[in-house]
Amino acid sequence: MTSARNGTARPSGPGGTPAAGTGPAGDPAGDPAGDPVPARPAPQDGGVPAVAEAADEVLDDEVAADEVLEEERPPPAGPVANALIALGVIALGVVTAVGATALELGTASAPRPGLWPFLIGIALVAFGVGLLALVRRTADAERFTRASWLVVAGLATMVAFVALVGVIGFEIPAALLLFVWLRLLGREGWRLSLVTSVAAVVAFYLVFVVALSVPIPHLF
């Protein structure tokens, strides 16, 4: 049998009871108020393509960035420069190992101050020999450019700093080192470079010399 409500019919079972799958008022099951249950929206098909398109754009940006870096990269140094670098590493290792012998090596169970520098020197020699064997098969080393000379200048200032600390203390060499690095290498402003250099040296002095009494060569 069927019964009407608001102009609509609902199925009913034997004896006038609502048929299975309908609520007490003939509406879909699970809705005792009789209001129609809103249908669940169908999934949008555009979600997956949108994600794939975004991933492709990110990948294209990364490829473009890699191409720009490859174009800006200096040309390879070449076999001659690679050989000179390898020989320099070997020479540094030999000097380190020979200098370490003057500090006494000791033994593995009772090492002396020169043992670890000696081992580092031997490792540098082995590393340099490996580089020398690969001078024609590597393109990692780059030809010297202006940026390369800035690195050399930074290392030169560090060598000068170490040479002057033992003579006049760390205050003036440290301030000059920081100023050169900030102003000339980092292209910072004059005021920022000067204030930062002086403030860093003062803070270092107060912490390590005044507060902790660390035996650092100092002028004041």
- Max CA pair span of the chain: 113
pLDDT over 50 (residue 3): no
6-16 mean pLDDT = 50
On whether the pTM is more than 0.85, the answer is no
**93 touches 125 (CB < 8 A):** yes
45-54 mean pLDDT = 62
pLDDT tens-digit series, residues 159-193: 899 888 888 999 999 999 999 999 988 889 999 99
Chain centroid to CA 113: 34
For position 30, what pLDDT does the model report? Answer: 47
For position 44, what pLDDT does the model report? Answer: 52
In terms of residues, how long is the chain? 220
Domain boundaries in the chain?
Answer: 70-143, 145-220
The conformational region for residue 16 under phi > 0 = left, psi -120 to 50 = alpha, else beta, is left
The token pair at 178 is 């920081």
pLDDT over 60 (residue 15): no
In 3D space, the residue among 42, 21, 19, 43 whose CA is nearest the CA of residue 30 turns out to be: 21
For position 179, what pLDDT does the model report? Answer: 95
Taking the CA of residue 160 as centre, how many other CA atoms within 13 Å lie in the half-sphere pointing to its CB? Answer: 14
122-146 mean pLDDT = 83
Taking the CA of residue 86 as centre, how many other CA atoms within 13 Å lie in the half-sphere pointing to its CB? Answer: 20
For position 105, what pLDDT does the model report? Answer: 85
DSSP secondary structure string for all residues of 141-201: SB---HHHHHHHHHHHHHHHHHHHHHHH-SHHHHHHHHHHIIIIIS---HHHHHHHHHHHH
The amino acid sitting at 143 is R
Highest mean pLDDT among 102-106, 157-161, 163-167, 200-204: 200-204
Q: Is the dihedral of CA 85, 87, 91, 94 positive or negative?
A: positive
